[in-house]
């Protein structure tokens, strides 16, 4: 199985009300660095983003931040990362993060984190990429979201094989192991079936 050379992590620019989220973000960054996996993230120096990057840097890991110029000008960019790429827009940021990465993990966050997660999942569903997408559900933060994804599937808006594309685990090592073994569903079969249903 090919190794995931770089993993993109989506997470909040706030730390949230539970201190464990901050420590888990730091621990994930450190884990990726110790395993020789580079980190791609949103480039920030605050909240879970800052903790994640600091965790990877504490273990000598490669950390690539991608940040829009408007946020960089507000002095939110992490100056200590291996490489900080400044882009023009949020759209360019998301595309570059996908291009640089071999897989994706979401940690707790807000609208921006969910936007990045679901756009990456949609691109996987449509075979715009074939990279694994994981949800680190430590502490049960994403329990409601996972249940809602199953709800969409039960109601016929999401195929079961696509719902299963989101790999959910509460342990970073196990999650990365599952991501490494991931194989995407074949696009052709469900697209052809969908086309026949609407004729």
pLDDT digits (tens, 9 = 90+) for 100-133: 999 999 999 999 999 999 999 999 999 999 999 9
Q: Total domain count for the chain?
A: 1
The CATH number that applies at residue 21 is 3.40.50.450
Calpha distance 173→169 (Å, rounded): 9
Domain that holds residue 159: 6-198
Residue 133 near residue 121 (C-beta atoms within 8 A): yes
Average pLDDT for residues 165-173, to the nearest whole number? 97
* pLDDT over 70 percentage in the chain: 92
- β pairing state of 6-10 and 38-41: parallel
If pLDDT is split at 50, 70 and 90, which confidence band does 190 have?
low
Average pLDDT for residues 66-88, to the nearest whole number? 92
- Domain assignment present for residue 58? The answer is yes
Residue 164: pLDDT over 80 = yes
- Domain assignment present for residue 1? The answer is no
Question: Is 36 buried (19+), middle (13-18) or exposed (0-12) by CB count in 10 A?
Answer: exposed
Q: How far is CA 34 from CA 7, 23, 39, 140, in A?
A: 13, 16, 11, 25
Residue 24 near residue 55 (C-beta atoms within 8 A): no
- Domain assignment present for residue 27? The answer is yes
Residue 180 near residue 4 (C-beta atoms within 8 A): yes
pLDDT in tens, 125-154: 999 999 999 999 999 999 999 999 999 999
pLDDT at position 1 is: 47
What is the length of the chain? 199
Residue 51: pLDDT over 70 = yes
Tokens standing for 81? 């990362």
Calpha distance 190→97 (Å, rounded): 28
Strand order across the 38-41 sheet: 83-87, 63-68, 38-41, 6-10, 103-106, 133-136, 166-169
- Domain assignment present for residue 143? The answer is yes
Calpha distance 4→68 (Å, rounded): 25
Residue 85: pLDDT over 70 = yes
pLDDT at position 186 is: 79
If pLDDT is split at 50, 70 and 90, which confidence band does 75 have?
confident
- Domain assignment present for residue 16? The answer is yes
Which comes out higher in pLDDT, residue 131 or 197?
A: 131
- Domain assignment present for residue 142? The answer is yes
């Amino acid at each position: 199985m090919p190794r995931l050379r770089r993993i993109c992590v989506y997470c909040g620019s706030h730390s949230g009300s539970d201190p464990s989220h901050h420590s888990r973000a730091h621990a994930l960054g450190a884990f990726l660095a110790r395993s020789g996996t580079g980190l791609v993230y949103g480039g920030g120096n605050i909240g879970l983003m800052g903790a994640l990057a600091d965790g990877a840097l504490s273990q000598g890991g490669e950390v690539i931040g991608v940040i829009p110029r408007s946020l960089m000008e507000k002095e939110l960019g992490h100056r200590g990362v291996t490489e900080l790429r400044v882009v023009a827009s949020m759209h360019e940021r998301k595309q570059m993060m996908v291009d640089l990465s071999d897989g994706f993990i979401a940690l707790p966050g807000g609208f921006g984190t969910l936007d990045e997660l679901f756009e990456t999942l949609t691109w996987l569903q449509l075979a715009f990429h074939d990279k694994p997408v994981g949800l680190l559900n430590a502490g049960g933060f994403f329990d409601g979201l996972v249940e809602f994804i199953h709800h969409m599937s039960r109601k016929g808006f999401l195929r079961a094989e696509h719902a299963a594309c989101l790999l959910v685990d509460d342990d970073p090592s196990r999650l990365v192991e599952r991501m490494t073994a991931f194989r995407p569903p074949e696009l052709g079969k469900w697209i052809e079936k969908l086309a026949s249903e609407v004729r």
